[in-house]
A and B are shown apart, each in its own frame.
Chain A
Amino acid sequence: MTPLARRRAEGAVALASGTLFGLGLAVAGMTRPEKVIGFLDFFRNWDPSLAFVMGGAIAVHATSWRALKGRRSPLLATRFLVPTRRDLDARLIVGAAIFGAGWGLGGLCPGPGIASLATAAPSVALFLVAMLAGNLGAARVEPFIGRALKRG
């Protein structure tokens, strides 16, 4: 396969895979902010259903991971590019904590936010613009965060 043909095939897989992902999020209920907030409302009116989203996704994907782990390369790309770090650091935990606060506040995370573009709702557009701004802001301050947390 020529590099260009391979690049095109990888693009087709990404498009199909993204479509399945978006459909899955919507079927699962992840695109309903009040449902996400209900899932995170452990101490009052807990709606456990979204735990089954993670359960279903992990059951399928963990099986695939086990099946693929022994392979030297993926079916199209030349190599696997999967994170290999296993150490915990303050940056990871602080970032995840901030992300969780935003998730609980609005009931949306990045995937469902993008899939919700279909609704053409102004609140979705606002959420996504703010999310991009937050991402760019983090890229700006990344060097300082690293240093501050190392010192701390």
Chain B
Amino acid sequence: MRGAAIASRLRPGVNERMNLPLDWIRALEGGALIGLSASLMLAFNGRVAGVSGMVGGLLQPSPGDWSWRALFLAGLALGGVVAAAVLPNAFAASPASTGTVLAAGLLVGFGSRVGNGCTSGHGVCGISRLSPRSVAATLTFISTGAITVLLTGGSP
């Protein structure tokens, strides 16, 4: 399986659909990087790597807490730039219409603020601490996400 992952990296033309377990390996590798990132934030800075919380903190800055949030978010964008350079299939254009993207952004911004977190803060950091609030929030947003996909047609 490892060999397959490396071979496909050398030959980027390999069909991803035919190679489903490769997706799983990539997901595990990416997940491990995310877990490592969250662990660094906790071990050194004593902070939760929650993206929506950092965005909220940037919009309502309190002195001394602004710069680390800005730097983490800048790093997030930088990580995307690195990924775009080394992984040609890392990004894909959104299939959604302009109106849908607008509505999606509004709901994500509003909901993550009201619910005190998103996929990173609740789904990764909170569940890792076995926080009942984060477990409940994660079950809730995966459920309403699935219902939304069911109602809007979902994947082809």
Give A contacts to B, CB under 8 Å.
7, 9-35, 37-38, 40-45, 47-62, 64-65, 68, 73-83, 85-88, 91-111, 113-119, 121, 123-124, 126-139, 142, 145
Contact = CB atoms under 8 A, between A and B. Distances in A.
27 contacts: A14-B45, A18-B71, A18-B72, A22-B77, A26-B80, A28-B33, A57-B31, A62-B129, A64-B42, A74-B43, A75-B44, A77-B46, A88-B132, A92-B133, A95-B113, A96-B136, A99-B107, A104-B145, A104-B147, A105-B104, A106-B105, A127-B101, A130-B101, A131-B109, A134-B107, A138-B113, A142-B114
A76 B103 contact: no
A132 B55 contact: yes
A64 B43 contact: yes
A115 B77 CA distance: 4
B19 to A, nearest CB: 11
Which of the four size classes fits the interface of chain B?
Answer: 35 or more
Would you call the interface of chain A mostly helix, strand, loop, or mixed? helix
A11 B149 contact: no
A147 to B, nearest CB: 13
A137 B60 CA distance: 12
Residue in B110, B130, B148 with the greatest tally of chain A CB atoms within 10 Å? B110
Contacts of A13: 40-41, 44-45
B146 interface: yes
Contacts of B89: 32
Contact of B155 (A21, A41, A81): A41
Interface string B35-68: 1111111111111110110011001100010011
Given A21-B75, A28-B29, A74-B43, 4 more contacts: A14-B75, A80-B42, A88-B132, A130-B104
Would you call the interface of chain B mostly helix, strand, loop, or mixed? helix
B81 interface: yes
B30 interface: yes
A26 B75 CA distance: 13
Contacts of A82: 42, 46-48, 129
